[in-house]
Amino acid sequence: MKKDISIIGVPMDLGQTRRGVDMGPSAIRYAGVVERLERVAHSIEDLGDIEIGSRERSDEAESNLKNLKAVAEASENLASKVDEVVTQGKFPLVLGGDHSIAIGTIAGLAKHYPNLGVIWYDAHGDLNTGDTSPSGNIHGMPLAVSLGLGDPTLTNIGGYGTKIKPENIVIIGARSLDEGEKVLIKEKGIKVFTMHEIDRLGMTAVMEEAIAYLKEQGADGVHLSLDLDGLDPHDAPGVGTPVLGGISYRESHLAMEMLEEADILTSAEFVEVNPILDERNKTATVAVALMGSLFGEKLL
């Protein structure tokens, strides 16, 4: 099914400490995302970038969460833009930027989808709060925030609290979880396919089960939040927190192809592309190739 796609860039690097990921949206555009999706006959509108504030001095912080005020402000702006795009009947495609941007993306989506399903394609759970985070980096917290857990400055983005239900989340590719995240996953009953399940069952079975699970939950919309560090660093080296032993390039294409065939997605975001850490824009090129598969590009 052809889609009217609105691209929103979020040059955010405030959710973590390694610089360069703010250039992710530009790198993805340079890798030809608009041209690639237009070739599959989609209608593409590039809305440009959300304005991002500056880093906060640590001695002025009122919280152990780094750059809390600036991240919250950017999240509000992004939530508003995503809300506007969905209201217009278009498909939001958000380009990051670090994974803290998902706070704003999901806040904008959940206004329209009260039973929003989320596929979190990531090496990490991003389920930390200020109490459990080893670093205070907000890019490790967006899924917890969307569940209504953590600092109210973040959980109330968009003017309301809890955005998603734990039973409507599927994490795919996890292989680096903090202790607090493991406790939360078990406590909330969040469905997780770690690399063990992907290796043991194969990506086909994992995606079939994930798609069927969200349909069983009655999700009225499904958002894909894809962190490029979900892939193995061999295939996607330009990320801030690489973890060995990840999902392969081909497995990721298969996952995207299966999501396209299922036709359940109502929004997507691709995050954590860092050109400074990359090899000749390889990671952004991989991101664009995966978007091609996600939006219907075929070999034959």
Q: What are phi and psi of 60, to 5 degrees?
A: -105, -5
Q: Report, as residue numbers or ranges, the catalytic residues.
A: 99, 122, 124, 126, 139, 227, 229, 272
Could you tell me which of 194, 200, 213 has the C-alpha nearest to residue 264?
Answer: 213
Could you tell me which of 278, 294, 10 has the C-alpha nearest to residue 139?
Answer: 10
